[in-house]
Structure 1
Amino acid sequence: MDGNGRWAAKRGLPRVAGHRAGAEAVRTTVRAAAEAGVEVLTLYAFSSENWRRSDEEVSDLTALMRFYLDREIATLERDGVRLEFIGEPAAFGSDLAARMQRATERTRHNRKIILVIALNYGSRAEIAGAARRLAEKVADGEMTVDAIDELTIERELQTSRWPDLDLLIRTSGEVRLSNFLLWQAAYAELIFLDTLWPDFDATALGDALGQYTARQRRFGGR
């Protein structure tokens, strides 16, 4: 979800206004994805590199996450959305972490769509963590080096309990993955849009899904 700052700048607004508009786009997109039959929707809300932003912007983002967790939980329950998190969200502090825990507990029985929020997430760190855990298992005698393969690595990733990634969409004209789901995107279809994230809506999602269904997925075959 990229382009909140540029959306605000184009309108002469502070960056936090762009983040608020981006949060509204999240609500619209989650509802549209559920109606389209998407099983799992993962949103890159805050990368491990985003800590380089100003203290004021990080504080605004944290406050916004806290506000929407409190405001949206009843809607998520009503709409059958199960909320999950990946990354290292504990870095945002115990108060926000407690809100996340309550939200996941309240929605854990929902089945219409799984909404995964990536907070303080970096794919390289995720893969490195998987490698460390496998190394520890080898050192403890729980497995041999020869037993390590793609499947055992995948089982150690934070996304292991969900289906393979099929489609990755990036907004705002940036044409790179920026450390998001690098392993999982190996055979995903990629779509890069010029649309700024706050302008992303049900129509934009439908167009992206239409492009996806029109593609022939070969997974390395002919």
Structure 2
Amino acid sequence: MSTTATNDKPTVLIVGAGLGGLMLGALLEKAGVPYMIFERATTVKLLGSAMSIGPTLLPIFQQLGIYDDIVATSKYMTHIDTYNEDLESLQRSDYRPIEEFTGYGHYIIARPKYYEIMLKQVPPHKVHFGKRVLDISEKDDKVTVHLVNNETVEGDIVVGADGAYSVIRERLYGQLKAKGELPEEDQEDLPFSCYCLVGQTKVLDPEEFPIVKEPISQFRAIIGREKPFSVSP
């Protein structure tokens, strides 16, 4: 099977249907630019913990028409409290001056809920699950994405939104390196020297944990000084 996308606007091929790929798809949908998203997973796995969103993203959500949905699904946050291993207060990062300056607050949102909202912004027929990318090739200002089962899709721009160890970046870097055009700094290993373990509790009972009743989200971080780890509950 071979598919060639034709349009007077450039066609964007997005590899990866995570939050980055969906955000780009939503923006292209709003702008009327043709695109397709390819995801190697066959189904959506709504995993992950919570994440902070604020003035850098909220204006974009407003333009996409999902600001109210995002805020309604989130919990308002004004600051982050940091403690040492003995639970002694180290500092408080107050976000309220930023809110006063930008007009947008900070919120904590569950990653699965955030993903659900973003997935709804992309028409289902433009997200292709179970489509693993094997390779990419370029010819005459066109780019071809080679998928499993000998499928190919042609477009004008390919975007690798498939994570830190991106297949697209690996293929592009390989092609550039073969031509002697890859900068030395891009040939180095990723500078990761830590691991991040993410877990979720079951839904907390407000009667047992009254803190969840508070209208403002409690974000607290514990910095490991004598031990090689930190905790952000």
Q: TM-score, normalised by structure 1?
A: 0.27
Q: TM-score, normalised by structure 2?
A: 0.26
Larger Rg over CA atoms: 2
More helix by share: 1
More strand by share: 2
